[in-house]
Structures are given as structure tokens and as C-alpha cells.
């Protein structure tokens, strides 16, 4: 393919990204983009190149304000400023309700939709299983294996390679393994890490080492306490279950929203810390709402588009 032809495809890909992230996209737009990407390998490559540039646009814009206004122009990337405004003010658009891909999913190397699970073999032979609503980017080189889990949850089965540590970054911490199996999950305001087999290190303002059956969480305040986990319930979503043991309502809702289209929201701040326990099937997520109503005396208010307010 001629360079000018590929440049034309990149311009088309950028136009698609602008439309999908505009806040006014429809399900027909999402289907049309998937069809456009499937037209040829060149179409998919053009989309990936444009998506990577778009993903890096935010930091670049921040630097451009400090440097000079001409670093990024409308001509260089199709109304970059309008994207930031639309993403910030879009609110509960179709993508957030699970009916369209989110911006993060469009720009990530790997992504799953609401309620979808996917197993991927990585370039080094390791595998990862992604839970619903998960986005992840990977960077493999001759000296490093680095993945960034930006949302959702994943289990990593790592092939040993002493020359290349396997590092998963999530929020403000990172988990490092050589050859082992572990899970990482985004909660409402923290990250949970479970060691399923082998040994891993977790860093967040301090260091902690986990072996089989141990788990830890971290947040902006640093590492929490190391705890012992039940092997049968570790990353239970792989067996089609959601298992909560004395979890906060905010965490339960965070998990529920990765498996149920629509949006469950907590309308009262005093409800967020209420504790929840129970075992539920992923294919019947609305049973969780019934359980919450019966045990916590919350009142679900059903709105259009699968939106539920817990009051």
C-alpha cells in the first residue's frame, strides 16, 4: 500500500475515533466502525496507529499548554480539544451503560464488554483471562514485560523469564511476578491482588510479598493488610460467580456494573460503606439487587436504560 493511501486510512480512523468519543455516537456507529476495521489488515492497522496517538493525546495537550500553542493543532489531530470537553461532560452516555464501547476500550490493546470474558495468549506465551468491563494495554520488549490494567479484573498465568520481569500496573501500584499465577482487580477506590500460585511482590508506597493463598489491597494511602484467601473463591468470576464476603456496597456495585448492562448507582453516600455477603451467578446479576433490597433495606429505583438508583 502506498504511503498516501495509508495516511488516508489513518485520517478515516481518526474521524471514527472522534465520532465514537463525541458523546453522540449510536450503536449503529459502533457496528459501522467494527465493519470498517474488518475491511482489511490495513484498516485495522490504521485504527491501531490512530488509537495509540489518541490515547497519548491527553498528556501531550497538557505539555503543549506549558510549551507553545502550536505543538498540537486542529490539523494535526482533528479537534483534539473537543474530545476532552466531550469526554468530561458526556455523563451517562451509551458507552457507560454498556451498549457502546467505552473510550478506554476503544483505545486499549485488549478490552472486554460488559458481561464478556476473554482469554488471551500474550507474546511471551503467558496467558491472561479478562473479566467483563476490563481494559488493558501491554508493552513487551526484549528486556521487559509491562501491562497496565486500567479497569476491570484479570488473572495472569505467567511464563517464567528471569531476564524479563512480568509487571502489572494498576492505579498507583504494581505487581511483579516471574513465573506464577495471580489476579488483579479494580474496586471502587482500591486495587485487590491475589496470589493464586507461586510468589509475587506488590508495591504501593511500600513492598509486600505474597505466596499461594494470600491477598492484599492498596489505594492512594498505600498497602493494606495481607490476608488469607479461599482458593475456591479466588477470582470466582472465572467460574461464573460473584462472591462477596463482608464487602462494601460500593465495591459490590463496582463489580455488578462490569457484568450488567445499564448502571447501578448509590444515591446516598451513607450507603456506600454498608457490608454485603453472598454468592451470586453472573448470568443472573439482578438477583444481587433483590438481595441488597432484602438485607440492607435499600430501595432500588429503576429508570430507563437499565439505570438503577439505590436509595
Quick check: pTM over 0.85? no
Q: Do 18 and 103 share a domain, yes or no?
A: yes
- Domain boundary among the residues 107, 134, 150 is at 107
Give yes or no: residues 215 and 118 share one domain. yes
Say if 177 falls within a structural domain.
yes
Measured on CA atoms in the order 292, 294, 295, 301, is the torsion positive or negative? positive
Considering the domain architecture, whether residues 41 and 83 belong to the same structural domain is answered as yes
Per-residue confidence of the chain (311 residues) as pLDDT tens digits?
A: 567 788 889 889 888 877 776 666 666 777 788 788 889 988 888 888 887 777 666 444 444 444 433 343 434 444 444 444 344 343 344 455 555 556 666 678 898 888 899 999 999 999 999 999 999 999 999 999 999 999 999 999 999 999 999 999 999 999 999 789 999 999 989 999 999 999 999 999 999 999 999 999 999 999 999 999 877 778 899 999 988 888 999 999 999 999 988 889 998 889 999 999 999 998 888 889 999 999 998 988 888 778 888 98
**Domain limit, last residue, from 228, 257, 289:** 228
Cβ atoms of 308 and 300 within 8 Å: the answer is yes
Domain check: are 18 and 90 in the same one? Answer: yes
Q: Are residues 43 and 101 in the same domain?
A: yes
For residue 61, give its domain range.
3-107
Q: Which residues pair with 114 in a beta bridge?
A: none
Q: What angle do CA 4, 5, 8 make, to 5 degrees?
A: 85
93 and 191 in a single domain? The answer is no
In angstroms, the CA 235 to CA 131 distance is 9
pLDDT of residue 245: 86
Instruction: Give the pLDDT score at 13.
Output: 86
Let me know if residue 171 belongs to a domain. Answer: yes
Here the CATH number for the domain that contains residue 165 is 2.60.120.1440
How far apart, in whole angstroms, are the C-alpha atoms of residue 208 and residue 176? 11
Q: Do 166 and 211 share a domain, yes or no?
A: yes
Which pLDDT belongs to residue 33? 81
Alpha helices for the chain (secondary structure H): 3-20, 27-37, 41-55, 57-66, 74-77, 80-89, 103-107, 249-256, 286-296
Residue 89, all three cell numbers: 461532560
Amino acid at each position: 500500500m502506498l504511503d498516501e493511501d495509508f495516511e488516508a486510512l489513518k485520517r478515516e480512523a481518526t474521524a471514527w475515533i472522534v465520532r465514537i468519543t463525541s458523546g453522540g455516537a449510536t450503536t449503529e456507529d459502533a457496528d459501522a466502525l467494527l465493519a470498517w476495521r474488518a475491511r482489511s489488515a490495513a484498516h485495522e492497522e490504521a485504527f491501531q496507529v490512530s488509537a495509540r496517538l489518541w490515547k497519548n493525546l491527553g498528556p501531550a495537550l497538557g505539555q503543549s499548554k506549558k510549551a507553545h500553542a502550536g505543538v498540537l493543532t486542529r490539523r494535526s489531530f482533528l479537534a483534539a480539544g473537543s474530545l476532552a470537553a466531550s469526554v468530561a461532560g458526556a455523563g451517562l452516555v451509551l458507552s457507560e451503560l454498556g451498549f457502546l464501547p467505552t473510550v478506554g476500550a476503544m483505545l486499549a490493546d485488549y478490552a472486554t464488554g460488559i458481561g464478556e470474558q476473554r482469554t488471551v495468549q500474550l507474546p511471551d506465551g503467558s496467558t491472561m483471562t479478562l473479566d467483563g468491563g476490563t481494559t488493558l494495554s501491554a508493552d513487551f520488549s526484549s528486556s521487559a514485560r509491562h501491562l497496565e490494567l486500567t479497569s476491570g479484573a484479570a488473572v495472569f498465568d505467567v511464563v517464567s523469564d528471569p531476564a524479563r520481569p512480568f509487571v502489572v500496573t494498576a492505579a498507583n501500584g504494581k505487581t511483579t511476578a516471574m513465573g506464577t499465577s495471580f489476579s488483579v482487580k479494580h474496586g471502587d477506590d482500591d486495587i485487590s491482588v491475589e496470589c493464586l500460585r507461586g510468589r509475587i511482590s506488590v508495591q504501593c508506597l511500600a513492598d509486600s510479598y505474597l505466596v499461594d493463598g494470600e491477598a492484599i489491597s492498596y489505594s492512594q494511602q498505600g498497602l493494606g493488610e495481607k490476608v488469607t484467601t479461599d482458593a475456591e473463591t479466588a477470582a470466582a468470576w472465572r467460574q461464573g460467580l460473584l462472591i462477596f464476603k463482608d464487602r462494601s456496597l460500593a465495591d459490590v456495585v463496582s463489580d455488578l456494573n462490569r457484568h450488567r448492562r445499564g448502571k447501578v448507582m448509590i444515591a446516598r453516600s451513607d450507603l456506600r460503606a454498608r457490608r454485603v455477603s453472598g454468592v451470586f451467578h453472573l448470568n443472573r446479576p439482578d438477583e444481587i439487587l433483590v438481595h441488597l433490597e432484602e438485607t440492607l433495606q435499600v430501595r432500588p429505583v429503576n429508570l430507563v436504560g437499565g439505570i438503577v438508583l439505590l436509595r
